[in-house]
Chain A
Amino acid sequence: MSEETHPSPSAHVPPTGAEAREKLLENYPKKTLRKRSKQMLVNETPETPAQIGANSRTVPGIITQRGCSYAGCKGVVIGPIYDILHITHGPIGCGYYSWLSRRNKTRIREDNETNYLQYSMSTDMQENHIVFGGEKQLAQAIEEAYEEFKPKAISVYATCPVGLIGDDIHSVCAEAKKKLGINVFGFSCEGYKGVSQSAGHHIANNGVFKNMIGLDDTEQDYPYTINVLGEYNIGGDAWEIDRVLNLCGIKVIGTLSGGVSYDEICNCHQANLNVVMCHRSINYMAEMMETKFGIPWFKVNFIGLEGTKKSLRKIAQYFGDKTLIDRVEEVIAAEMAEVRPVLEDVKPRTSGKKAALFVGGSRAHHYQDLFTDMDMEVFAAGYEFAHRDDYEGRDVLPNIKVDADTRNIEDLTIEQDETRFNLRQTVDRKKSLEDSGFEFSDYEGMMRQMKKDTLVIDDISHHELEKLIEMYKPDIIGSGVKDKYVIEKMGIPCKQLHSYDYGGPYAGFKGAINFYEEIDRMTSSKVWQLNRAPWDEEPVAKEEPAAVSA
């Protein structure tokens, strides 16, 4: 067996960022090379990030990690809502592949409720529907589902053929809404829209805002109310975040959209503050809620100890009450007392090990914090479907060129709500805090946090990932299931950061403990040493046996 894929770490000298980049770009046809060069950077000036090509059309044939708009809309943002019915209008594949395939956990609130996530509902379009239209089928499917479940709301998702054959899901939904007396709405999230899941996030945000936000004005009589936006409760992350916030006395009205209920979404405009976890998928909601209701937002990060502490303290600062500020410090101290021994235990083993992350639109940045906690070195990272602002920071937003694919995704025009704008003087609170340097609507982006000479690669392809591994011989890669097995065949552990490899939670304090223990176990595993059999060292003989038939 060659030393190529299983050397001892000390023997190997990694390339410089520039050298690695050159190798990665080898073998591309000219046109692809032009495009790809812009999407792959060496992070030479972290304080003032260079411009990166992001959110552009996927290069065909490149074996991308990216999915489609339907996945971003139904799979990611709306799918997790457990008490509305989700009906996919299209042939069977899309509805099937998004059936419980994401670990956005949830639990029913009342005993007499049903968790609708167990159901994959599809109009299962056949050829005759493609030819003659499927609107009637959809209308019947909605009615039939209503008759059986009597849900609070029904959500309909369009797939690729729908837009092309001219099925108008919105008018079908409007009719059903009138007839059945419940909320029925649709999402035109055909898979070919946009260039990735990101288009679907945007479409979903628009739909949530138009159809759910603001429907329930019940007041929330708590001193400190927030929403956690862009948190999908993968592996129970949101529950860990809730646990910590509850200990501090902070009430979450709605988490969008992990573990959330329809009622909570309808009521969440009653919060005083929005905090944003995943900037990419939910920034639209944060902006729209501010425009309409005057609820300010700022970025938080509950992944990693520093991020969690900082986020808690910033939320406390927002409300400004000494009781809350003190309480937060108490909680942090108690939680850190649990975490610290675990971290001290793993650090001797993890210190200096090398990691790279290629995933999603947010995790590739925030998970670097957990690796940093363990004294591990991140040498490369990249998103799958993020935009320039997720890499370079929100200050580049005015400069981002709006291409044709983006232009086709609707940007809603939102007006101030007549009666409910600034209902709890949140606008005033924001203004007075800003005057003293407090930052809102902020996101610094991934590149500022990465070291000099690290590699930033947008939408890494299969081939590039394999080459990167060959060159750097990392100790672990954070990626997704589509890359996991090829990485592990090359002798390197891969931690799935979309599904958490069926582990988690990794958010907050208890989540950090889980992560440290997992990574320690993975990077210390001896299993790859078994690759070398005893006869590879000392052959027993020279001749190969002829096949012996029984």
Chain B
Amino acid sequence: MNRQTIAPDYRTAAGLCPQGEAPEIATRNACKVCSPLGAAMVFKGIRGCLPFLHGSQGCATYIRRYLISHFREPVDIASSSFTEDDAIFGGAKNFTAGLLNVQQQYQPELIGVATTCLSETIGENMLGMIQAYKKEQQPGDAPLIHVSTPAYNGTHSDGFATAVQEVIRALVPASAETRANRVNILPAMMSCADLRHLREMAAAFDLEATLLPDYSDTLEGTGWDQYHRMSPGGTSVEEISQMGEAAGTLELGHLRAEKRTSASGDLQERSGVPRHALGWPMGIRLTDEFVTSLATCANKVMPDSLRRARGRVVDAYVDGHKYLSGRTAAVYGEPDLVVALAAFLSEVGIRPILCATGAKVRDWQKLVTSQVEGNTEDIQALQGVDHARVSQCCRDHKPDLLVGSSKGYPLARELEIPLLRLGFPIHDRFGAQRQLTVGYEGTLSLFDQLVNIFLDEKQETSLTGNSYQ
């Protein structure tokens, strides 16, 4: 590639990195973000919900900044703004005052409270404080949800899943009813375009989907023709409360499928809503599983539109698989995303030789390899690792492609390989919020991108300068 190799920004001192060891004790260039961020995203997917972080205002500000530069949308998150006194004596006063201010200024439909390292370390009595706040509330004031999300436990993916589970636990009463045309979909940490398309696929079966969360409008909005106190969009509290009446719950993400307790499990237990624990529907095989579940819930045959969409993907695979066959990729990011990528990439002939996540996941190797087609001896699955470790592995194994967030760019540049940006955060490219990965349409889009990456590379490095491939 005719680019300046290793820009000064990423230059390493001679003889040390990259030949140096990745740190054993410390984390260097983490491959994970902290859990309240995941909870905040879920709250942004509920209509009229204002996220509220109980702790230092730094958390709210930093998390807002990161979400905003990925989605390029306003993200309001309130904070109880602990002072040093509060850290010592407890933050009850600020908690109540903060909630009252939020109520007064925003009149939200729901307030989603998440804790932070600070409030958890000092052992705040959240339930007691919430009870005290409820006494001060006026009739008609917004209800509260509370999620425990200290950053010293888990990652943003965990915060996301925990928040979904807690919302359902708090807002969905046990129900014996079933409404045949309704389905619940619990997406993983997907893009706004993904959320819209999940809904479209359900609609193809005449199913009305309740998505939790649905931040497809709040985090990818239009210009405003009138002043909105809170970003429009999101699934309403009322709709959430009816989730016990659905014909099925599709919970997406292999890690959530594996867990002992889950949101969809709770719905099944309390209201008899059949649980469909599925992977992230990326690639033909995983999308087939997804649409089969939809068909089961709807009790309908596969609609023609999806049949044809699938056919177009297969046709594209036939046309393009020769460009991808035998290529290798290193994948990193949220665990649900990485597992799905392992499945999809192996499906199209790219070997996912490194599958890394910053989260700590039990039996990670087994989970990843269970989704990979063919021989899996060449697959290295790393969990609880940082980018330093990922970089070290990639320097040893030299993949043809990197797939993951923007944080992998320095490595891509150093190794002179392309980076397909997926996951969180993507802050050095435009359009992260509408990157489509799910369904046959998403699969096709990703497939086109992958093939073109390799065609581009072939063209750029061609000695004979082919303008016709």
Contacts and interface: CB of A to CB of B under 8 A. Distances in A.
B76 A63 contact: yes
A405 to B, nearest CB: 6
B189 to A, nearest CB: 16
Nearest to B101: A61
Contacts of B75: 482
A489 B74 contact: yes
Interface string B1-27: 000000011111110110011011111
B27 to A, nearest CB: 4
B101 A114 contact: no
B466 interface: no
Interface string B433-469: 0000000000000000000000000000000000000
B65 interface: yes
A485 B10 contact: no
B25 A148 contact: no
A29 interface: yes
A549 B204 contact: yes
Interface in A137-177: 137, 140-141, 144-145, 148-150, 159-161, 163-165
A547 B65 CA distance: 38
Nearest to A191: B56
A68 B59 CA distance: 8
Contacts of A47: none
A195 B225 contact: no
B16 A149 contact: yes
A408 interface: yes
Contacts of A93: 33-34, 36-37, 59, 62-63, 117, 151
Nearest to B304: A550
Interface stretch (A218-226, A280-288, A462-470): A462-470
B86 interface: yes
B55 A485 contact: no
B65 A68 contact: no
Interface stretch (B92-100, B236-244, B369-377): B92-100
Interface stretch (A124-132, A296-304, A333-341): A124-132
B57 interface: yes
B27 A482 contact: no
A112 B121 contact: no
B415 interface: no
Interface stretch (B102-110, B174-182, B256-264, B324-332): B102-110
A149 B105 contact: no
A123 B56 contact: no
Contacts of B29: 99, 118-120
A223 B26 CA distance: 46
A96 B105 contact: no
A481 B25 contact: no
Given A91-B117, A114-B12, A160-B118, A482 B26 contact: no
B227 A490 contact: yes
B84 A462 contact: no
A92 B26 contact: no
A288 to B, nearest CB: 23
Contact of B122 (A108, A126, A164, A486): A164
A51 interface: no
Given A114-B16, A148-B20, A550-B304, A67 B58 contact: yes
A550 B72 contact: no
A235 to B, nearest CB: 15
A543 to B, nearest CB: 21
Contacts of A32: 97, 101
A60 interface: yes
A115 B11 contact: yes
13 contacts: A4-B226, A6-B225, A58-B57, A60-B80, A60-B95, A61-B80, A61-B98, A61-B102, A69-B58, A98-B62, A160-B55, A191-B56, A192-B118
Interface of A: 1-2, 4-6, 27-29, 31-32, 57-71, 87, 90-99, 101, 107-108, 112-115, 117-127, 129-130, 137, 140-141, 144-145, 148-150, 159-161, 163-165, 190-196, 404-405, 408, 461-463, 466, 470, 481-486, 489-491, 528, 531, 547, 549-550
Interface of B: 8-14, 16-17, 20-21, 23-30, 32-34, 36-37, 52, 55-59, 61-66, 68-69, 72-87, 94-95, 97-102, 104-106, 116-118, 121-122, 150-153, 155, 203-204, 206, 221, 223-227, 229, 303-305, 410
Q: Which 8 A-B pairs have the closest CB atoms?
A: A68-B58, A61-B98, A60-B98, A93-B34, A550-B305, A61-B101, A191-B56, A141-B26
